[in-house]
Amino acid sequence: MSLMMPAIGVVAPVFVVVQALISWFAYSEAKQHGSLSALLVGIAVFVLGVTLAFILDGILEVVGIELLLILLYRLGLRVTKHRSSTV
């Protein structure tokens, strides 16, 4: 049984920066909505993103999933705002 370790290359620092930006977005949204643990949310998003990249052995999949979740979140906010303004 061999343990496989993902290769860390040139893209790794770029991934860490992108992951930090996604985590900052999660932190700022949690803080904007009055979450008492906004910092915990930001840290958790960062750690989970990096962990998933190692588990799935792919960066693009993780970033793609995170960006899709952000788009769905923003779309949900827009729909909710539109519904509340028409009532």
For the stretch 15-24, pLDDT in tens is 999 999 999 9
Question: How many structural domains compose the chain?
Answer: 1
Is 3 a domain residue?
A: no
Is 5 a domain residue?
A: no
Is 4 a domain residue?
A: no
Q: What is the pLDDT of residue 87?
A: 63
Domain that holds residue 60: 14-86
- Centre a 10 Å sphere on the Cβ of residue 50 and count the other Cβ atoms it contains: 17
Is 6 a domain residue?
A: no
pLDDT tens by residue, 28-84: 999 998 888 999 999 999 999 999 988 888 888 899 999 999 999 889 888 888 777
Q: What is the pTM of this model?
A: 0.77
- Centre a 10 Å sphere on the Cβ of residue 30 and count the other Cβ atoms it contains: 19
Query: Taking the mean position of all CA atoms in its chain, how far away is CA 42?
Result: 9
Is 9 a domain residue?
A: no
Is 24 a domain residue?
A: yes
Is 71 a domain residue?
A: yes
